[in-house]
Amino acid sequence: MNLSFNQKKALNPYLPSWEYVPDGEPHVFGDRVYVYGSHDFFNGWVFCLGDYVCWSAPLSDLSDWRYEGVIYKRTDDPINEDGRMVLYAPDICQGPDGRYYLYYFYDKRSCINVAVSDKPEGPFVFYGRVRDDEGGLIGERYGDEPYFDPAVLVEGNYVYLYGGFCGQGDKSRTGCMVTVLDARDMLTVIEEPAFVIPGNCYSKGTGYEGHAFFEAPSIRKIGKKYVLVYSSERMCELCYAVSDSPDEDFEYKGCIVCNNDTGIDSYKPADVPTAYGGNNHGGLVQIGDDWYIFYHRQTNGTWYSRQGCAERVSVSEDALIPQVEMTSCGLSDSPLEGKGFIPAYIACNLFTEKNMFPMVGMGAGSSSIPKITQDGRDGDEEPGYIAGFSDGVTAGFKYFELKGVKKVSVISRGYGNGRFDFATEMGGKPVASVPVSNTNFWEMTSAEGKFPDGTFPIYITYRGDSAPSLLGFVLE
C-alpha cells in the first residue's frame, strides 16, 4: 500500500511523527526560526533521555523543517561526563558579542549551566555556570531555591534569567524568580533572585489563584510589554503574565493554550477535556506579522514521549492573548486541503465516550485507552498512528477545506469488527460510515459519503468490538 501525504502544509506536530522534542522554545535568527527543547525518546521511561537536538525552518515556509543534528550532548558538561543526569528544558539567547548562549539544567543539580556557539544551530561547547561574584552557584548556595527551566532575555548590558519549580503544597518553593546577569560575560549575577509569579502556596489574593506558577517560564518582549509565559499549577495549560518591567509587577492575564483543550467553549463545554493532557511547556514567537505559541502534547499513553505543536495566536497592543484551541494545521496559514491521504497522528482531539480523562496517566496503559504511537524503536522513522479505538473513541482533526468529497477510505489494522463514523461536528450525525473487520496488516476499506463543502473539522468515532488501530484516512 503506497500512501503519501502530499500536502505542502504546516501541521501539528510540526516535526516528523517519529521525533519527540518537547519544551519547545522558538527563536528567529536571521531568516530562519529555530526550535530548542529537551529530547524525549519514543517508549522512554522518564523525561528527556536524549541529547539536545535542533530543528529549523525558513520564515517563508513553516512546513519545511530541517534537522540540524545534535547540538549538545548530555555528557558535554564536565559535571556529567558519566551521563547519569538528563538535560531538562533549555533556552537560548544571542549575546552582545554576537554569539549564541544555551542555558540549561540537569535533573540532579540545582544550578544553571551555559554553553556557547558561534552559530544558532551549534554545535555548542561548555562555557560556565551562573554564579555570584564570589563564585557561588545560583540555586545551590545556602538558602537558595533551586533553579529549573531557565528562560533568558537580553536587553543592553543585562541578561534576565527566569526559572523555578513549585509543586502543589510545597511551601519550600515560592514561585518563578528572575536573576539579573551581566551581559559582558553572560554568567555573573548583578541582581539577586527576586520572585515575580507566586506558586500554589503563595497565590491567595494575588490574582493567580487556580493558575499559580508551576514551572516552564518563557519570556518575550512584545512592544513595550514583557510577557512571561509559564505552566500553571494545572500543568496542562500555558498561562501568561504581563508587566511594563522585566523584573517586577507581572499581572496574570489568562491561558494561551491547554493541551487537553479545557477552557475552550467554542465546540464543547469549557470544562470538558478532549485530549489526554499532561505537563506543558513552550514559548511565543513572531514570524512576519503573525504570532505563534509553541507547546507540546503527550503520546504513547505516557508522560515521557512528548511532541511539539504550535498554534497561531492574536496579540493586542496591550499584549493580551485570547486562548486558542488545539488544531491539526497549527502553523499553517489556511485549513488543510480536504483531499487525499490524511495521517491519523495529526489528530488534535482524542477522547473516549465515557471517560475523557483530563491528564494522561489516569488509566493510561489499558487497551481501552486510545493513544498516538508508532512501531519500532526510538529513532526509527516509522509513521505515527492511533491505537486503541475501542467503542465510542473519537479522534478529531481541524480544519479542512472540503469540496466535492464523495468517498472516504480508512487504513486500519488489528482486531475489531465495526465501523468508523465520520462527522463534521462533535457529536454530529455521520456523513459517512466505513466498515472494518479483523486484519493483521494495514488494510483499506471505503464507503460513499455526503461531506458538506466549506471549512470543517472531521471527527472519526469507532463503533464496534475490540480496539483496532488507525493509520489514516483518504478523502476523494
pLDDT of residue 369: 80
For residues 213 and 118, state if they share a domain: yes
Give the per-residue pLDDT at 358: 67
Q: How many CA atoms lie within 13 A of 364 on its CB side?
A: 20
Q: Are strands 213-222 and 439-448 parallel, antiparallel or unpaired?
A: unpaired
| Same domain flag for 456 and 375 | yes
DSSP, residue by residue, 358-388: SBTTSSTTSTTS-EEE-SSSTT--PPPEEE-
Q: Establish if 325 belongs to a structural domain.
A: no
Q: Are residues 263 and 400 in the same domain?
A: no
Residue 153 neighbours by CB under 8 Å, 6+ apart:
93, 159, 160, 162, 219, 220, 221, 226, 246
Which domain-ending residue is among 272, 298, 313?
313
Preceding omega of 123 cis (within 30 degrees of 0):
yes
Residues 370 and 463 in one domain: yes
Residues of the chain with pLDDT under 50: 362-367
Q: What is the pLDDT of residue 361?
A: 59
Decide if 19 is inside a domain.
no
Distance CA 416, CA 438 (A): 5
Count the neighbouring beta carbons within 10 Å of the beta carbon of residue 334. Answer: 11
Final residue before a domain boundary, out of 313, 347, 382: 313
Helix (H, G, I), strand (E, B) or coil at 250: coil
DSSP bridge partners of 161: 152, 179
Enter the C-alpha cell of residue 322. Answer: 485570547
Output the domain CATH number for residue 74: 2.115.10.20
pLDDT in the model for residue 364: 43
Rounded to whole angstroms, the Cα distance separating 141 from 446 reads 65
CB-based contact 331:35 (threshold 8 Å): no
Q: Do 371 and 434 share a structural domain?
A: yes
Q: Identify whether 77 is a catalytic site residue.
A: no
pLDDT at 179: 98
279 and 137 in a common domain: yes
Tell me, yes or no, whether 2 lies in a domain: no
**Residue tagged active-site, from 19, 25, 149, 215:** 215
268 and 387 together in one domain: no
Question: Where in the sequence is the domain holding 443, given as residue range(s)?
Answer: 337-475
CATH of the domain at 432: 2.60.120.260
- Residue 49, classified by CB atoms within 10 Å of its CB into exposed (0-12), middle (13-18) or buried (19+), is middle
Inside any domain, residue 173: yes
pLDDT for position 1: 56
- Pick from 258, 281, 313: which residue ends a domain? 313
Domain-embedded: residue 15: no
Sheet with 66-72, side-by-side order of all strands: 25-29, 32-36, 52-58, 66-72
Q: How many domains does the chain have?
A: 2
What are 115's strand-pairing partners? 102, 126
Q: What is the DSSP letter of 405?
A: -
Do 42 and 124 sit in the same domain of this protein? Answer: yes
Does 136 share its domain with 216?
A: yes
Return the DSSP state at 467. -
Within 8 A by CB and 6+ apart from 296, the residues are 22, 23, 24, 37, 259, 280, 281, 282, 306, 307, 308, 309
d(CA 402, CA 398): 12
Residue 365 pLDDT: 44
- Let me know if residue 158 belongs to a domain: yes
Residue 374 sits at the vertex; the CA angle it makes with 372 and 377, to the nearest 5 degrees, is: 135
CB neighbour list of residue 265: distance below 8 Å, 6 or more residues apart = none
Segment 182-210, tens digit of pLDDT:
999 999 999 999 999 999 999 999 999 99
372 strand-pairing partners: 386
Same domain, yes or no, for 241 and 172?
yes
Asked if residue 171 is part of any domain, the answer here is: yes
How many Cβ atoms sit within 10 Å of the Cβ of residue 429? 8
Backbone angles phi, psi at 40, to 5 degrees: -85, 165
Residue with cell 530541517: 66
Strands (E), 282-380: 284-287, 290-298, 306-313, 336-337, 340-343, 349-351, 371-373
Residue 14 domain-assigned (yes or no): no
Same domain, 99 and 237: yes
Provide the whole-model pTM. Answer: 0.96
- 294 and 374 fall within a common domain: no
Contacts 24+ apart (CB under 8 A), 324-328: 324/256, 324/257, 324/293, 325/261, 325/264, 325/266, 325/267, 325/398, 326/12, 326/257, 326/258, 326/259, 326/261, 326/275, 326/297, 326/398, 327/12, 327/398, 327/399, 328/11, 328/12, 328/397, 328/398, 328/399
Q: Please say if 118 is a catalytic residue.
A: no
